[in-house]
């Protein structure tokens, strides 16, 4: 399982890549650079691999994550001079922020990542935690960013929030933020920024003035929210329903945010009620025609804050039954998932989504392809990158109201009886 | 006593480091210094940075405190606290020991790094101390043991040395380490005598040569041993003694002394100064090459990638290349001795290939869809104490799934020096039916991605091929498969179709999309065909000929009619199937000639330029010629990251310019200035839609009609507008 899951190095790099206009420069071999760079190019919609266009020394055919291409001799004598050259090259490109990170091998030999000289705001991560979760790497990088850019305390602006825990590595991250922003806006709540996902250095200071930090993915928000609380006195709210996905979890999330801010959630709840009616129309047609979706099986894999609301939505709302549930890391929602599975008599559900036949499989695109390709399911719903459908022009959020309708629609799409 | 009233240190923490060769007595000196500083009224924190963790013993009545690394190994992060590792000793001084691995395993330097990170994280700065004393092993000033030299740490550095040459040699190395950071931090040399004749002179000569004062001369004295027997320092046991006064003076120097630049000597200067030797004559190198970079592999492998052979920048790592190759074998369990990141990147590469192939072709290598992968998940404690237990657990997990296991090592495994082969032997000893094929790639120490692919193919062949397998008529191996290519399965389907029409079949896909039995039965086929003619396939071909006596045909599976007829003809001759092959060739030729006219009608007289990273573009030029397209310019650019790295020398070599040193924009300008209708290139180049750009596939489809499928795209592309509407919407 750990072999297939995004982990701490990816988490850290993606947190840095989430800063608009930044450069993440890696002191390490090309083997540690190619995949994160290619992933970043994909999820942030920047140029892809093309050695004819990105033919420069440290970039090696890609537009992102330049590296020092360490080899075995560098593990003996270090690559500090090459890293200095990369640092020089990077600062000359005038990025909004320069993030320096050691590969696991470079961190082992204790390569130092600080240099004297004028540079854009720079953060360094000399020892990314090895073999830890994506969230752990993400939050470590977030703290390094916040410490490095050091926002100062600001007078809180009423009815404003930051959305914590979203990463550019998340499927449809921009559209999810837009969807949540719209819903909150109906309640008179303004989203200042989403730290770690498309924010800019000026947003770092802006974020200090938020009246509230709101967890979207709580496994990635604990350390960051605590940092804001301790250093900037920004309070934090976490919704026990997990991420705002599925009608129930979305409504609860909105109510909790509004409650904390003393805002009125009714306008957003009204919008959701209209969508509920629309969904009801389609589901009842399917129910009358084929007795679906009740009793159909599904398997589900992802981080706990996604699995928990998706599980509730698929089971409690659609009436489908989980046959395999797997969480790619630990998090506050993991216990809720396990308890819920036991409460519905599915405590013994398989944890191997890749091996379990199901009417619908919900997971990252590669896992979905693995299940579909082996004939274990006919219908897959992607919850994470990499994606089976990499072209995305229409707004296609994973979370929020749009994400909820997407989850329902795509799950129903492949059902047969 | 007057020292007890010494004023507390200026409100901020002064940090000093004492470095010295192992066994030189720096811990005794450090402990006595801490005791003296304590008696001066200063609050001291002493941090021992030596795996043998005895730095603070004399401050703790002989007790050994729990070490930071023990805590890291035995506690969850949330349970860790300073209380668990900070002991209070003589006069309230605070004592911390980094600890580290047993000799011979793990990485002690990494232990020091982790200690400092953790102490920072746990808020060591919040401890009530005026002075922090780092007592550091100075034999090897690697990145880990150099942490106290970083700018955030020691403001003053002392070197403890006896008069023995190796001790002074270590002292000089420490100065070199200091010079790599902020060099103006040297406070002096502490001469700890061994009682040898003339050693004081040697130390003083060295000190003078590097421009540092000898701030303390500590004689050899039985009083140290007496005090140690009672678990105390001399300062504690006999503060009035002359010996103790030396440490009080040293303590005073710590508080008040100046710092100087680190100016180490060269090795020759050191020998001259310390031993009084004349400088040796320079060694004549006589045109010798630079020695190869150090690493675990002493000689280059016999079958090398281009990057390795030419010592180019390594593209990707051998670890991933080997892992991908192993994952493509059905039934083989692959164990990665690595952090999760290496495993994730490798598995993603396999799964991405499967996803792309599944989406595009509806079929993918089955073992890529469900990778049989097991990672040892090397974490921080493993890096310090050695990762063998984690590796053995991963091997056990793998054996629960199957008897055949491939084991691949990563960079961290190589750096910390885990004995991977011994772990494999130990685990497989309890599994008589099991076998482990070990690939010591050590990340990219063995080379680039392609080297890993070659290494894995060689390891799997040597470990699995059964030399006694009986040959069977009509079976053929395909050698040099690229399993991550999207069209791999489609190409194999084509090859199988052709072979079937000849009364033959594929025996083993070497390696990609085969199973263990397929590799074991490699010799069931008398002949092998190359999947392509890049260096990878040629290396495998050489290996299989040399080591397994395989008969590998010269003509590879190829795109285009000529290429197809070439391998068909050669195989037919080798297997006595000429008549079937002639009939088949006639049929293929007819299909090709029937498909040609409508395309020629659309494309004849058009002009094309080629900018290719592939060096084998004969098939492409054949196609242009057959369609009547004028080839204006064909450039092949040489790149070390490209796999098609054999020499141009085929039928159309005279029509191709090979560019080894080039500027891409000039190449594009050159091509565009000739006014082509179609620009064929390996990747799109920036021409802002001014010409129809068509890609030369990275791994072309094979088959007699495959290039015509590409030409069909060219014909359609020429009907597209010269400038599409979307281009106007930029920004």
Q: From chain B, pick out residues whose CB is under 8 angstroms from the CB of A127.
A: 113-114, 117
Q: Does residue B271 sit in the same domain as residue B328? A: no
What pLDDT is recorded for position B301?
Answer: 58
Q: Does residue B139 sit in the same domain as residue B171? A: yes
List pLDDT tens digits, range B301-321.
589 998 888 888 999 999 999
pLDDT in tens, chain A (417 residues): 767 888 999 999 999 999 999 999 999 999 999 999 999 998 887 777 777 777 678 999 899 999 999 998 888 888 999 999 999 999 999 999 999 999 999 999 888 899 999 999 999 999 999 999 999 999 999 999 999 999 999 999 999 999 999 999 999 999 999 999 999 999 999 999 999 999 999 999 999 999 999 999 999 999 999 999 999 999 999 999 999 999 999 999 999 999 999 999 999 999 999 999 999 999 999 999 888 999 999 999 999 999 999 999 999 999 999 999 999 999 999 999 999 999 999 999 999 999 999 999 999 999 999 999 999 999 999 999 998 888 889 999 999 999 999 999 999 998 865
Element (H, E) at B568: helix B561-575
Residue B288 lies in a domain: no
Closest residue in B to A81 (Cα) is B180
Q: Does residue B27 sit in the same domain as residue B69? A: yes
Q: Does residue B505 sit in the same domain as residue B652? A: no
List pLDDT tens digits, range B438-472.
999 999 999 999 999 999 999 999 999 999 999 99
Instruction: Determine whether B139 is an active site residue.
Output: yes
Q: Which residue has the higher pLDDT, B176 or B289?
A: B176
Task: Give the residue-averaged pLDDT of B674-698.
Answer: 89
Measure CB to CB from residue B344 to each of A7, A51, A112 and give the nearest one: A7
List pLDDT tens digits, range B135-188.
999 877 777 888 888 877 899 999 999 999 999 999 999 998 888 888 899 999
List pLDDT tens digits, range B425-439.
999 999 989 999 999
Q: Does residue B343 sit in the same domain as residue B459? A: yes
Q: From chain B, pick out residues whose CB is under 8 angstroms from the CB of A48.
A: none
Q: List, in order, residues 6 or more apart from B5 with CB less than 8 Å away.
A: B41
Query: Between chains, do B352 and A109 touch, taking CB under 8 Å as contact?
Result: no
Tell me, what CATH number does B449's domain have?
3.40.50.1980
Q: What CA–CA distance (Å, rounded) separates A134 from A196?
A: 13
Q: From chain A, pick out residues whose CB is under 8 angstroms from the CB of B371.
A: 3-4
Q: Does residue B237 sit in the same domain as residue B270? A: yes
Q: What CA–CA distance (Å, rounded) separates A413 from A381?
A: 10
What pLDDT is recorded for position B362?
Answer: 85
Task: Give the residue-averaged pLDDT of B546-566.
Answer: 95
- Closest residue by Cα to residue B515 from B358, B322, B326: B326
* Domains of chain A from N-terminus onward: 8-148 (3.40.50.1980), 157-263 (3.40.50.1980), 268-413 (3.40.50.1980)
Query: B2 pLDDT band (50/70/90 cuts)?
Result: very low
Last residue of a domain, one of B501, B528, B557: B557
Instruction: Determine whether B43 is an active site residue.
Output: no
Residue B9 lies in a domain: no
Catalytic member of B50, B130, B135, B139: B139
Average pLDDT score, chain B: 89
Query: Between chains, do B341 and A52 touch, taking CB under 8 Å as contact?
Result: no
Residue B583 lies in a domain: no
Instruction: Give me the total of CB pairs closer than 8 Å, taking one residue from chain A and one from chain B.
Output: 213
Query: Between chains, do A78 and B613 touch, taking CB under 8 Å as contact?
Result: no
Measure CB to CB from residue A354 to each of B319, B370, B684 and give the nearest one: B370
Q: Does residue B306 sit in the same domain as residue B197? A: no
Instruction: Determine whether B26 is an active site residue.
Output: yes
Q: Best of B173, B296, B355 to disrupt the A interface by mutation (most A CBs within 10 Å)? A: B355
Closest residue in A to B445 (Cα) is A72
Q: From chain B, pick out residues whose CB is under 8 angstroms from the CB of A51.
A: 613, 639, 641-642, 683
What pLDDT is recorded for position B302?
Answer: 83
What pLDDT is recorded for position B641?
Answer: 67
Measure CB to CB from residue A131 to each of B355, B374, B378 and give the nearest one: B378
Are A78 and B294 in contact by the 8 Å Cβ rule? The answer is no
Query: Between chains, do B443 and A110 touch, taking CB under 8 Å as contact?
Result: no
Q: Does residue B661 sit in the same domain as residue B549? A: no
Task: Give the residue-averaged pLDDT of B277-293.
Answer: 50
Which tokens is A387 given?
């994606």
List pLDDT tens digits, range B340-352.
999 999 999 999 9
Tell me, what CATH number does B54's domain have?
3.40.50.300
Q: In what order do the strands lie in the sheet with A23-27?
A: A23-27, A98-102, A122-125
Q: Which residue has the higher pLDDT, B662 or B92?
A: B92
Closest residue in B to A12 (Cα) is B341
**Distance of residue B407 Cα from the nearest chain A Cα, in angstroms:** 14
Q: What CA–CA distance (Å, rounded) separates B477 from B524?
A: 9
Instruction: Determine whether B52 is an active site residue.
Output: yes
**Distance of residue A44 Cα from the nearest chain B Cα, in angstroms:** 16
Q: Does residue B552 sit in the same domain as residue B663? A: no
Q: From chain B, pick out residues whose CB is under 8 angstroms from the CB of A61.
A: 641
What pLDDT is recorded for position B110?
Answer: 82
Catalytic member of B21, B43, B156, B615: B21
Residue B645 lies in a domain: yes
Q: Does residue B355 sit in the same domain as residue B387? A: yes
Length of chain A: 417
What pLDDT is recorded for position B661?
Answer: 83
Measure CB to CB from residue A369 to each of B114, B151, B354 and give the nearest one: B354
Q: Does residue B627 sit in the same domain as residue B689? A: yes
Are A269 and A332 in contact by the 8 Å Cβ rule? The answer is no
Residue B535 lies in a domain: yes
pLDDT of B575 higher than 90: yes
Residue B574 lies in a domain: no
Structural domains counted in chain B = 3
Q: From chain B, pick out residues whose CB is under 8 angstroms from the CB of A9.
A: 339, 341, 344
Query: B646 pLDDT band (50/70/90 cuts)?
Result: low
Domain hosting B116: range is 15-275
Query: Between chains, do B379 and A130 touch, taking CB under 8 Å as contact?
Result: yes
Q: From chain A, pick out residues whose CB is under 8 angstroms from the CB of B358.
A: 369, 372-373
Query: B78 pLDDT band (50/70/90 cuts)?
Result: confident
pLDDT of B10 higher than 80: no
List pLDDT tens digits, range B201-243.
999 999 999 999 999 999 999 999 999 999 999 999 999 999 9
* Three-state helix/strand/coil letters over chain A: CCCCCCEHHHHHHHHHHCECCCEEEEECCHHHHHHHHHHHHHHCCCCCCCCCCCCCCCCCCCCCCCECCCCHHHHHHCCHHHHHHHHHHHHHCCCCCEEEEECHHHHHCCCCCCCCCCCCCEEEECCCCCCCEHHHHHHHHHHHHHHHHCCCCCCCEEEEEEEECCCCCCCCHHHHHHHHHHHHHHCCCEEEECCCCCECHHHHHHHCCEEEEEECCHHHCHHHHHHHHHHHCCCEECCCCCCCCCHHHHHHHHHHHHHHHCCCCHHHHHHHHHHHHHHHHHHHHHHHHHCCCCCCEEEEEECHHHHHHHHHHHHHHCCCEEEEEEECCCCCCHHHHHHHHHHCCCCCCECCHHHCCCCEEEEEHHHHHHHHHCCCCCCEEEEECCCCCCCCCCCCCCCHHHHHHHHHHHHHHCCCC
Q: Best of A33, A83, A103, A105 to disrupt the B interface by mutation (most B CBs within 10 Å)? A: A105
Tell me, what CATH number does B692's domain have?
3.40.50.12380
pLDDT > 90 fraction of chain B, expressed in percent and rounded: 69
Task: Give the residue-averaged pLDDT of B395-404.
Answer: 96
Q: From chain A, pick out residues whose CB is under 8 angstroms from the CB of B342.
A: 31-32, 104
Task: Give the residue-averaged pLDDT of B628-639.
Answer: 93
Residue B283 lies in a domain: no
Query: B5 pLDDT band (50/70/90 cuts)?
Result: very low
What pLDDT is recorded for position B639?
Answer: 78
Residue B571 lies in a domain: no
Q: Does residue B267 sit in the same domain as residue B341? A: no
Q: Best of B184, B411, B643, B684 to disrupt the A interface by mutation (most A CBs within 10 Å)? A: B411
Query: Between chains, do B347 and A29 touch, taking CB under 8 Å as contact?
Result: no
What pLDDT is recorded for position B121?
Answer: 85
Query: Between chains, do A111 and B358 touch, taking CB under 8 Å as contact?
Result: no
């Amino acid at each position: 399982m750990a072999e297939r899951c995004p982990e701490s190095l990816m988490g850290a790099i993606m947190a840095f890549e989430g800063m608009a206009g930044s450069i993440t420069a890696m002191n390490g071999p090309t083997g540690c650079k190619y995949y994160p760079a290619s992933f970043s190019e994909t999820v942030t919609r920047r140029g892809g691999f093309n050695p004819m266009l990105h033919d420069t020394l440290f970039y090696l055919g890609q537009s992102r994550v330049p590296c020092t291409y360490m080899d075995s001799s560098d593990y003996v004598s270090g690559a500090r001079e090459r890293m200095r050259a990369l640092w020089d090259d990077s600062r000359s490109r005038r990025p909004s922020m320069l993030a320096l990170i050691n590969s696991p091998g470079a961190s082992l030999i204790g390569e130092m990542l600080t240099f004297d000289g004028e540079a854009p705001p720079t953060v360094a991560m000399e020892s990314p935690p090895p073999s830890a979760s994506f969230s752990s790497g993400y939050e470590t990088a977030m703290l390094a960013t916040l410490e490095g850019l050091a926002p100062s305390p600001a007078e809180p602006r009423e009815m404003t929030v930051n959305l914590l825990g979203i990463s550019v590595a998340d499927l449809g991250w921009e559209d999810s933020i837009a969807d949540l922003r719209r819903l909150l806006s109906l309640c008179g709540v303004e989203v200042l920024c989403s730290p770690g996902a498309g924010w800019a250095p000026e947003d770092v200071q802006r974020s200090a003035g938020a009246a509230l930090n709101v967890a979207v993915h709580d496994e990635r928000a604990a350390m960051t929210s605590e940092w804001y609380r301790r250093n900037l006195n920004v309070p934090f709210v976490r919704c026990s329903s997990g991420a705002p996905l599925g009608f129930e979890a979305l409504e609860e999330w909105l109510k909790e945010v509004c409650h904390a801010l003393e805002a009125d959630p009714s306008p957003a709840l009204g919008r959701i009620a209209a969508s509920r009616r629309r969904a009801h129309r389609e589901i009842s047609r399917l129910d009358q025609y084929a007795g679906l979706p009740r009793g159909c099986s599904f398997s589900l894999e992802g981080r706990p804050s996604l699995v928990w609301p998706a599980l509730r939505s698929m089971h409690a709302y659609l009436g489908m039954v989980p046959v395999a549930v797997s969480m790619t890391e630990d998090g506050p929602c993991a216990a809720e998932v396990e308890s819920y599975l036991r409460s519905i008599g599915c405590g013994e559900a398989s944890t191997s989504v890749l091996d379990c036949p199901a009417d619908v499989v919900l997971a990252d695109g590669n896992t979905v392809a693995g299940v579909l390709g082996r004939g274990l399911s006919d219908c897959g719903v992607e919850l994470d990158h990499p994606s089976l459908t990499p072209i995305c022009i229409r707004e296609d959020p994973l979370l929020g109201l749009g994400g909820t309708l997407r989850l329902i629609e795509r799950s129903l799409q492949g059902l047969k009886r | 006593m007057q020292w007890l009233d010494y004023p507390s240190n200026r409100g901020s923490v002064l940090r000093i480091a004492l470095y010295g060769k192992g066994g030189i007595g720096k811990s005794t000196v450090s402990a006595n210094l801490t005791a003296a500083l304590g008696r001066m009224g200063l609050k001291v924190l002493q941090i021992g940075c030596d795996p043998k963790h005895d730095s603070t013993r004399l401050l703790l009545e002989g007790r050994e405190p729990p070490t930071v690394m023990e805590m890291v190994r035995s506690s969850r992060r949330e349970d860790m606290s300073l209380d668990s590792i900070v002991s209070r000793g003589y006069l309230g001084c605070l004592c911390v020991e980094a600890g580290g691995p047993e000799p011979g395993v793990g990485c002690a330097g990494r232990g020091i790094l982790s200690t400092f990170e953790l102490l920072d994280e746990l808020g060591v700065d919040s401890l009530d101390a005026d002075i922090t004393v780092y007592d550091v092993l100075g034999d090897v000033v690697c990145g880990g043991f150099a942490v106290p030299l970083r700018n955030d740490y020691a403001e003053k550095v002392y070197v403890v040395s006896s008069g023995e040459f190796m001790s002074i040699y270590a002292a000089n190395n420490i100065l070199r380490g200091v010079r790599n950071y902020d060099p103006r931090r040297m406070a002096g040399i502490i001469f700890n005598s061994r009682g040898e004749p003339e050693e004081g002179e040697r130390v003083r000569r060295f000190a003078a040569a590097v421009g540092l004062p000898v701030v303390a001369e500590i004689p050899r004295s039985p009083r140290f041993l007496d005090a140690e027997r009672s678990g105390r320092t001399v300062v504690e046991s006999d503060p009035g003694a002359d010996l103790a006064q030396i440490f009080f003076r040293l303590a005073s120097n710590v508080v008040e002394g100046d710092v100087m630049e680190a100016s180490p000597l060269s090795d020759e200067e050191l020998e001259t100064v310390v031993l009084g030797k004349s400088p040796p004559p320079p060694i004549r190198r006589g045109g010798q090459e630079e020695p190869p970079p150090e690493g675990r592999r002493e000689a280059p492998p016999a079958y090398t990638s281009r990057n390795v052979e030419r010592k180019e920048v390594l593209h990707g790592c051998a670890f991933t290349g080997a892992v991908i190759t192993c994952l493509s074998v059905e039934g083989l369990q692959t164990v990665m001795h690595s952090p999760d990141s290496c495993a994730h990147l490798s598995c993603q590469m396999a799964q991405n290939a499967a996803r792309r192939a599944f989406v595009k072709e509806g079929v993918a290598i089955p073992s890529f869809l469900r990778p049989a992968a097991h990672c040892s998940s090397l974490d921080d404690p493993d890096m310090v104490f050695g990762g063998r237990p984690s590796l053995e657990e991963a091997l056990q997990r793998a054996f629960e799934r199957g008897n055949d296991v491939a084991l691949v090592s990563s960079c961290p495994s190589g750096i910390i020096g885990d004995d991977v082969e011994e772990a494999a032997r130990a685990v497989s000893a309890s599994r008589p039916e099991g076998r482990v094929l070990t690939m010591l790639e050590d990340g990219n120490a063995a080379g680039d991605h392609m080297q890993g692919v070659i290494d894995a193919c060689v390891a799997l062949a040597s470990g699995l091929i059964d030399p006694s397998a009986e040959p069977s008529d009509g079976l053929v191996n395909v050698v040099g498969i690229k399993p991550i290519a999207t069209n791999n399965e489609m190409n194999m389907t084509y090859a199988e179709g052709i072979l079937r029409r000849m009364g033959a079949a594929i025996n083993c896909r070497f390696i990609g999309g085969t199973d263990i039995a397929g590799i074991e039965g490699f010799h069931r086929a008398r002949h092998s065909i190359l999947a392509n003619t890049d260096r990878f396939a040629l290396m495998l071909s050489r290996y299989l000929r040399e080591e397994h006596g395989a008969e590998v045909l010269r003509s590879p599976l190829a795109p285009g009619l000529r290429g197809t007829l070439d391998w068909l003809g050669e195989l037919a001759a080798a297997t006595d199937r000429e008549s079937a092959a002639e009939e088949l060739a006639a049929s293929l030729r007819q299909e090709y000639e029937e498909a040609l006219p409508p395309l020629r009608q659309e494309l004849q007289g058009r002009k094309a330029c080629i900018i290719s990273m592939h060096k084998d573009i004969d098939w492409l030029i054949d196609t242009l010629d057959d369609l009547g397209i004028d080839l204006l310019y064909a450039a092949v650019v040489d790149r070390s990251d490209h796999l098609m790295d054999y020499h141009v020398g085929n039928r159309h070599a005279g029509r191709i310019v090979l560019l080894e040193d080039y500027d891409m924009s000039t190449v594009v300008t050159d091509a565009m200035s000739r006014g082509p209708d179609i620009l064929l290139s390996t990747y799109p180049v920036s021409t802002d839609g001014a010409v129809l750009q068509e890609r030369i596939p990275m791994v072309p489809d094979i088959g007699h009609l495959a290039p015509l499928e590409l030409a069909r795209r060219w014909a359609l592309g020429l009907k597209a507008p010269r400038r599409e509407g979307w281009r106007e919407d930029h920004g």
